[in-house]
Amino acid sequence: MGCCFSEPVDFDTEVNLFHFDLHRAVGKGAFGKVRVVEHKRSKKLYALKYIDKARCIKQKAIDHSFIVNLRYAFQDDENCFFVLDLMLGGDLRFHLESRGYLGENVIRFWAAELVSALVYLHKQRIIHRDLKPDNILLDAQGHAHITDFNVAIHYSERRLHTSIAGSLAYMAPEVVGRKGYTWCVDWWSFGVTLYELLFLRRPFDGRTSEKMTNSILKDSLKFPDDASKKCSANCTKFVQALLERNASQRLGCRPNGQGFQDIKNNPWLVGADWESMETKAARPPFVPDIKKANFDVTHELDEFLMVEKPLTHTKRKANPDLAKMKPEWRQLEEQFAVYDFVSTQRRSYYPHNEPITTVVRSSESEQIPVVQSVSNTLLPTTTFGERSQAGLDTTWHQHIPSKPL
C-alpha cells in the first residue's frame, strides 16, 4: 500500500507558495485575505496576504521598525501573494472594541512610535492616506506598526494630489474639500486616530457621507466633558494641533523640514527617548495576551465551512499565452516583481521630482504655499480610492473596496 508525499522544495528557486506551510486564517477584506504561514526552511512565522489577480496591481517594499514590512512577493495563476511581518498582538480596532480605553501612557507610547513611522514614510515621499486604528498592528511585545498600504501613494513635489482615497472619517479637510493635498493629510488622520483611542469616538461624524464631509469641513473641534479625566491638558493640545484645518499650521507640517522637530519639542512627547524607541529597546506599557486570538476568529470559518475555495499549493502553468490575457492580467505577468528580502538587492524606486510650486486655498481670500516634506457608497471607516490628478500617481491599488482589511 503506497503513501503520497509532497515533492521536496527547492529553496534555490524563485520564491513561491511551496516554500511555506499554510496555517490559520486571521483576516479578510476587500483587498485580500490574510493567514499565518511558516517558511519551511527558516521556520519563521509570517502573515501571508493574498489577493485575487483581478484586484491586484502591484505592491512595493518598505522597511522600518514600526511598519509591517514586506518580506516576500510572488504570484501563481490566480493570486498575488505578499508575505509580511507577523503581528500577533492584533490591530488597535480590536483592542478598542474588546478593552476600550487603555490609558494615556499607553496611547502616548504608541503615538511616539507612529510618529517615527510617519516621518520615515514622508522622507520616502510616501503618503499612507489610510491611517486609522484598523491599520495599526501590535507585535507580540506591544509595539505599534503601520500596515495596509493599499491606497498609499508617492506624492508629487510638483503639484498637489486631488484623488479621494482612504477612509472618510479619517480624511483631512483638504482631501474631502478637494483643495489638493500632500503628505500633511497623514498627520490629520493621526490626530483623528489619537482622538478615537483617547475618547472612544471620532471628533467629526455623520450618518451619511455628506453629513460627515460637512462635519470635517465646518464643525468646531470639541472634546468630551470628561476629557480631563482621560488625559492631560498637554495631550488634548497635541491632538488639537494635529486637527488644524489649515495644513500649513498643522503640527508636523511646518516647512523646511521642521515638522518632526516641532513634534519632538511638543510638551506631550518631549520626554520620549527617540533613539532607544527606534531600536525597540523601550518596553511597551501594554503587552497583548498572545495566548489568545487577537483577531476575529470567524475569519477561519470561510475555508473551514467551505464557503470559499480554500488556498492550496498549486504549480503555475508553463509558458502562459500573454496574447490571450486581459490587459491587467498581462500587466501582472510582465511587470510583477518577485521579491525575496533575503536574496533581493533592494533598489530605490522613489521619484526624484522638483519642489512643489502649487498653492492651496484655505479660504476664498487666502493662499498658502505648499510645504515640502522633511526629505525635500462611501462608508465612514471603509477604504476606497480613485485615480489622482497629480503628476506622478503610483497608487498601490486603484479600486473601490466594500470594507477594510
At CA 154, angle to CA 348 and CA 186, rounded to 5?
125
d(CA 146, CA 167): 15
Q: What phi and psi, each to the nearest 5 degrees, are found at residue 328?
A: -70, -35
Coil, strand or helix at 78: coil
- Cell digits for 354? 522638483
Length of the chain: 405
First to last CA, the chain: 46
d(CA 190, CA 169): 12
**Catalytic entry in 76, 85, 91, 130:** 130
Q: Does the active-site annotation cover 289?
A: no
Does residue 120 contact residue 67 with C-beta atoms inside 8 Å?
yes
Report DSSP state, residue 324: G
The set of long-range contacts for 196-200, using a CB threshold of 8 Å and a minimum separation of 24, is 196/96, 196/133, 197/92, 197/96, 197/102, 197/107, 197/110, 197/133, 198/101, 198/104, 198/107, 198/227, 198/230, 198/231, 198/235, 198/239, 199/223, 199/224, 199/227, 199/230, 200/96, 200/100, 200/101
Nearest to 276 by CA among 79, 118, 112: 112
Report DSSP state, residue 181: B
- Is 58 known as a binding-site position? no
Coil, strand or helix at 11: coil
Active site amino acids? 130
Q: Which residues are annotated as a binding site for ATP?
A: 49
